[in-house]
A and B are shown apart, each in its own frame.
Chain A
Amino acid sequence: MSDKISRETVMHIAALARLRVDERELEALTRRMGEILAYIARLEELDLDAVEPTCHAVDLPGALRQDLPAAGLRAAQALANAPDKAAPYFKVPKVIEGGGDA
């Protein structure tokens, strides 16, 4: 946990999160993240081996409802905020290289 975070690690996680970090911001960002992680390392002081993790603070039994059809957003409403569309679809830049007529 106390390993220092490197510039390369920051670049790697930025790529995983689909973010780009400018070269001029990388230094400061790496330093700030290093400070935060150094502070977080205090969790090492706790004996957590026999402790169960808590994902949610409220113990709720299964909250499944019946699967019944109900009105939702109509296609035009769902598309209303789209930056690019060809109704009834969202339009995105090309995903597959090469193409063809498929």
Chain B
Amino acid sequence: MNLSRDWSIEQTAAHLRAGDVTAVALTEAALARIAADDERLGAWLHVDREHALAQARAADDRLRAGDEVTALTGVPLAIKDNFNVAGLPATAGSKILGDYVAPYESTATARLRQAGAVLVGKTNLDEFAMGSSGEYSGFRPTKNPWNLAYTPGGSSSGSAVAVAARHVPGALGTDTGGSIRQPAAHCGVVGVKPSYGRVSRYGIFAFASSLDQVGPFARTVRDAALLLQHLAGHDERDATTVPLAVPNYLAACERGLDGLRIGVPREYFGPGIQPQVEQAVRRAIRVMQQNGAEVLDISLPHTPYCVAAYYLIAPAECSSNLARYDGVRYGARAGGDDLGAMYTATRQRGFGPEVTRRILLGTFALSAGYYDAYYLKALKARTLIRHDFLKVFNEVDVIAAPVAPEPAVRLGERLDDPLAMYLSDILTIGVNLAGICGLSTPCALSKEGLPIGLQLLGPAFGEEKMFAAAAGYEAVAGHEWPWPEVAP
């Protein structure tokens, strides 16, 4: 049977419907690629062959019967390991979850399953999604398929790599401060952080509840739009999801660039941004302008305070959310003579250094005597940051910017300098603080041969404009470079 690892989701779906490939064959091929590559890449934490093939057989039955076939029926996908997929292990990249097997299903994965997608397995991540390089995984680091000496970005490191290495055409991640967009940029794939409230988080391991959002990875903008189409919508199990109708995102991809007003925030360029990154992104903006978009200079004046506000708010919420890991109901318990000693021993043994640091930082920010000085100030700064975006979106449809100040860094380069790693999040975390949507799409290769991403931001629940800009850009710019080959 003739099949290609280069197929997008849409191409895969067309071949499945035409009957010239089966879901079982596609799944076998994905499993074979993972078996061949993944020892070097470290993208996957758990691949369940039988579980995947059972879903593939069910999808083939559906396709044969022509029964409720969607564009995802029979398409193999990867799921970040901080989602509960019933019956599969879920670790969130942490040793503290031990041999945890998900007893229930997240809403996002349930929706993909309903559509007939084949969930091949669970992908690696920074522990509890805290990190920007994939190196804080409690198990092993993930490597960048473009160059194995480099990190793939994080925290959704494995999902980005599984798509870039063409194990699967699409994946799920979570984005709390850039954890989808930044690894997408570093791996040369498309990654979408939907608006806060657009996709249910029911069944994901909470990190920072006012910031966390679920989103897709894919190799084309249209594929990402297609995945979001299936994920988006109200869920009574997540009270933060909005009861708004879900627009047709694929139709939005057809809009084109003509007359689209694109804002270019001056604070997202200049000092601290590598010149080759700035040049690549400015070139992409020029291409959009030459194809009918209107480009406006804008300002988001509180950008210099984003990292400071975020690294109080996210750790504060994390310290509260991670209190549940106490060795009582699930996970690996460590010994102790009494309950308190057991809690402490379990947490000390189970959490890695970055998670420990963030719990401490958050506990500090929330503790008596520091709450007003730190946490409350951060919440007020968040208001100013959000108002910057609200104001700008009165004048522009989308915002264009770099995703990260530089392409991927070498393995180990930032590992022992948390502040330097936090500062590299400057261009993505404003989006989470403001609750708006954003995506990363590839726009160039660096002189080292590593991908550079273009970030396009839309207002809250304005995904259509974001997809219009991204698909419009992709249609005229194309994807001129070959996908990376991971040499055996």
Contact = CB atoms under 8 A, between A and B. Distances in A.
A90 B336 CA distance: 16
A87 interface: no
Interface in A26-52: 29, 32-33, 35-37, 39-46, 48, 51-52
Given A16-B363, A18-B343, A53 B197 contact: no
B236 interface: yes
B340 A18 contact: yes
A17 B328 contact: no
Contacts of B343: 18
B379 A14 contact: no
A51 B380 contact: yes
B335 to A, nearest CB: 8
Given A36-B418, A55-B379, A19 B240 contact: no
Interface residues of B, number: 74
Interface in B360-386: 360-361, 363-364, 367, 373-374, 376-384, 386
A40 B378 CA distance: 9
B344 A58 contact: no
A9 B319 CA distance: 16
Nearest to B356: A19
B47 interface: no
Overall SS of chain B's interface: helix
A26 to B, nearest CB: 11
A53 B379 contact: yes
B141 interface: no
A20 B340 CA distance: 12
Contacts of B307: 39
B308 A42 contact: yes
Interface string B24-40: 00000000000000000
Contacts of A84: 333
B20 interface: no
A interface residue count range (under 10 / 10 to 19 / 20 to 34 / 35 or more): 35 or more
A57 B363 contact: no
A54 B239 contact: no
A54 B329 contact: no
Given A57-B460, A60-B197, A16 B367 contact: yes
Interface in B386-420: 386, 418-419
A51 B386 CA distance: 12
A95 B422 contact: no
A42 B305 contact: yes
B360 A48 contact: no
Given A1-B373, A20-B348, A78-B103, A53 B330 contact: no
Interface string B455-467: 0000010000000
A13 B309 CA distance: 20
A67 to B, nearest CB: 12
Contacts of A44: 377
Interface string B69-99: 0000000000000000000000000000011
A12 B311 CA distance: 20
Contacts of B460: 57-58
Nearest to B379: A53
Nearest to B434: A57
B338 A93 contact: yes
Given A65-B236, A84-B333, A54 B344 contact: no
B342 A35 contact: no
Interface of B: 98-101, 103-104, 195-197, 210, 236, 239-240, 242, 302, 304-305, 307-309, 311-312, 319, 323, 326-333, 336-345, 347-348, 351, 356-357, 359-361, 363-364, 367, 373-374, 376-384, 386, 418-419, 422-423, 433-436, 460
8 closest Cβ contacts across the A-B interface?
A57-B435, A53-B379, A81-B330, A83-B333, A63-B239, A48-B380, A51-B380, A17-B363
18 contacts: A20-B344, A33-B360, A36-B422, A40-B308, A40-B311, A53-B376, A54-B383, A57-B460, A58-B240, A60-B239, A64-B239, A77-B103, A77-B104, A78-B103, A81-B101, A81-B329, A81-B331, A90-B328
Interface of A: 1, 5, 9-10, 13-14, 16-21, 29, 32-33, 35-37, 39-46, 48, 51-58, 60, 63-65, 73, 77-78, 80-84, 90, 92-95
